[in-house]
């Protein structure tokens, strides 16, 4: 007799290896191949008879399997989108009306602010930007009253500030507003905003969830509550009407890639711990941020709210030249934007013009290389910075 309790919670590695999978059928692949279709055969049946798929803009089995995988990890119901911004803009635009007030992070992913400034305001939506470190006090003062939607990004990209999701969720619920959390940096196994009271999770799966720097993708997961189910219906209708689901190949590739997220995050986090320590010990570097490093301003809240660390570290070098010098003197710290991939990357954020950061501010994304190799590489490069 087996003594295994089938209801015991499973570890991240197990959940990821099996996420979204159907019960086994002998003679079939462990994971189904992508289904490429625009229309499906209708035969002599009316569209949708017996639950059959009719047209792929709303219905694709590859997307459904991938969405079940991501939704189960988030603890909600997932809709996949062609990019992170498609997911974020859909979650917001499917909900707001002219005259609504929307609160967005002042220091999060810059394109979310552009969405507010260039699209929401044009539609008569009032956009208020609040820094991640101030949203809790804004909420505690009752200043979210009258807001239709509040979006958080925690840890914020690129400065890695953390805010208290549960505290803000309580205030948004009291205010009758929808709480959306951009969970890109944390990933679904690093933080579960829906279980902390958020109504909607959005994420750029372009980053660590897929983690190989080879796909653009995003998702929206809604809470399994009455409000969450209403939002899911609304956002699914939005996606069908505006026509922005991802292609099945991307969804299949993402499902394949996310199987290894537990392993990748573990190595990325170990590398980040070592890289942050090395950076902090260098006289050429200031303001090293990694929320899991003792002494980091976000440490206590990250420990309490998040489930595990990841590989994103930020720091400040003297200026743009110092960053260039670092890039030229390292072998494995590749200059690239985005983050969460298997390669270690560095991005001087000021070069993009969207973030209010100093010229020498760098976002490091630690990959899955061996820690000793990264430490040796970065250590010798930092010495050249004097
Ligand atoms: C990258 C990113 C996005 C946008 O994702 P795309 O796939 O590039 O559209 C949104 N939010 C955060 C926090 C991101 O890092």
The pLDDT assigned to 2 comes to 64
Domains and CATH numbers, the chain: 13-258 (3.40.640.10), 261-383 (3.90.1150.10)
User: Is the shortest distance between the CB of 115 and ligand 1 below 6 Å?
Assistant: no
Rounded to whole angstroms, what are the CA distances from 159 to 16, 97, 131, 186? Answer: 28, 31, 11, 13
The pLDDT assigned to 1 comes to 57
Q: Which atom of ligand 1 is nearest to the CA of 86?
A: 9
The pLDDT assigned to 376 comes to 98
Pick the residue whose CA is nearest to atom 7 on ligand 1. Answer: 84
Beta bridge partners of 335: 346
CB atoms closer than 10 angstroms to residue 167: 17
The pLDDT assigned to 5 comes to 85
The Cα 68–Cα 73 span in angstroms is 9
- Ligand 1 center to residue 152 CA distance, Å? 13
Mutate to test the pocket of ligand 1, among 111, 203, 341, 345 (most ligand atoms within 8 A of CB): 111
3-state helix, strand, coil in the chain (%, to 5): 40, 15, 45
Burial 52-84 (b: 16+ CB within 10 A, else e): ebeebeebbbbbbbbbbbbbbbbebbbbbbbbb
| Full-model pTM | 0.97
- Ligand 1 center to residue 84 CA distance, Å? 5
The pLDDT assigned to 386 comes to 74
The pLDDT assigned to 146 comes to 95
The Cα 165–Cα 181 span in angstroms is 8
- Determine whether 260 is exposed, middle or buried from the number of CB atoms within 10 Å of its CB (0-12, 13-18, 19+): middle
Helices 261-280 and 371-384 pack at an angle, to 10 degrees, of: 30
User: Is the shortest distance between the CB of 83 and ligand 1 below 6 Å?
Assistant: yes
DSSP 335: E
Low-confidence ranges of the chain (pLDDT < 70): 1-2
The Cα 278–Cα 288 span in angstroms is 10
The Cα 204–Cα 206 span in angstroms is 5
Four-CA torsion 77, 83, 85, 87, nearest 10 degrees: -20
Q: Which atom of ligand 1 is nearest to the CA of 108?
A: 13
User: Is the shortest distance between the CB of 204 and ligand 1 below 6 Å?
Assistant: yes
What does 161-173 look like in DSSP terms, one character per residue? Answer: ----HHHHHHHHH
DSSP 128: E
- Ligand 1 center to residue 385 CA distance, Å? 31
The Cα 382–Cα 372 span in angstroms is 15
- Determine whether 9 is exposed, middle or buried from the number of CB atoms within 10 Å of its CB (0-12, 13-18, 19+): exposed
Among the listed residues 368, 248, 371, 385, the one whose alpha carbon sits nearest the alpha carbon of residue 326: 385
User: Is the shortest distance between the CB of 207 and ligand 1 below 6 Å?
Assistant: yes
DSSP 94: T
- Ligand 1 center to residue 91 CA distance, Å? 14
Helices 61-74 and 248-258 pack at an angle, to 10 degrees, of: 40
Q: What is the DSSP pairing of strand 334-335 with strand 76-81?
A: unpaired
């Amino acid at each position: 007799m087996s003594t295994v309790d089938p209801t015991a919670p499973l570890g991240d590695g197990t959940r990821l290896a099996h996420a979204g999978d159907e019960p086994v059928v002998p003679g079939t692949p462990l994971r189904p191949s992508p289904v490429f279709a625009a229309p499906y055969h209708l035969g002599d049946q009316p569209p949708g008879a017996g639950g059959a798929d009719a047209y792929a803009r709303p219905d694709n089995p590859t997307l459904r399997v991938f969405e079940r995988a991501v939704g189960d990890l988030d603890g909600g119901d997932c809709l996949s989108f062609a990019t992170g911004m498609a997911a974020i803009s859909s979650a917001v635009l499917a909900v707001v009306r002219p005259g609504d007030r929307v609160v967005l992070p002042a220091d999060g992913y810059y394109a979310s602010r552009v969405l507010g400034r260039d699209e929401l305001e044009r539609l008569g939506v009032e956009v208020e930007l609040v820094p991640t470190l101030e949203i809790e006090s804004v909420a505690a003062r009752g200043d979210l009253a009258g807001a239709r939607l509040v979006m958080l990004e925690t840890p914020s990209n690129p400065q890695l500030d953390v805010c208290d999701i549960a505290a803000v969720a309580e205030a948004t619920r009291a205010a009758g507003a929808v709480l959306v959390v951009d969970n890109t940096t944390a990933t679904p196994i690093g933080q579960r905003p829906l279980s902390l009271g958020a109504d909607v999770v959005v994420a750029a799966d372009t980053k660590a969830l897929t983690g190989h720097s080879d796909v653009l993708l995003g998702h929206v997961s809604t809470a399994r509550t009455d409000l969450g189910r209403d939002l899911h219906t609304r956002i699914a209708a939005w996606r069908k009407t505006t026509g922005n689901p991802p292609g099945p190949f991307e969804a299949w590739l993402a499902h394949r890639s996310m199987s290894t997220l537990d392993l990748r995050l573990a190595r990325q986090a170990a590398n980040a711990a070592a890289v942050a320590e090395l950076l902090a010990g260098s006289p050429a570097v200031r303001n090293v941020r990694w929320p899991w490093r003792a002494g980091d301003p976000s440490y206590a809240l990250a420990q309490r709210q998040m489930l595990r660390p990841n590989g994103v570290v930020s720091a400040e070098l003297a200026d743009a030249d110092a960053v260039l010098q670092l890039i030229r003197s390292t072998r494995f710290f590749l200059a690239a934007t985005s983050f969460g991939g298997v390669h270690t990357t560095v991005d001087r954020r000021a070069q993009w013009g969207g973030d209010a950061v100093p010229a020498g501010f760098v976002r490091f994304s630690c990959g899955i290389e061996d820690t000793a190799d990264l430490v040796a590489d970065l250590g010798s490069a930092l010495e050249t910075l004097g």
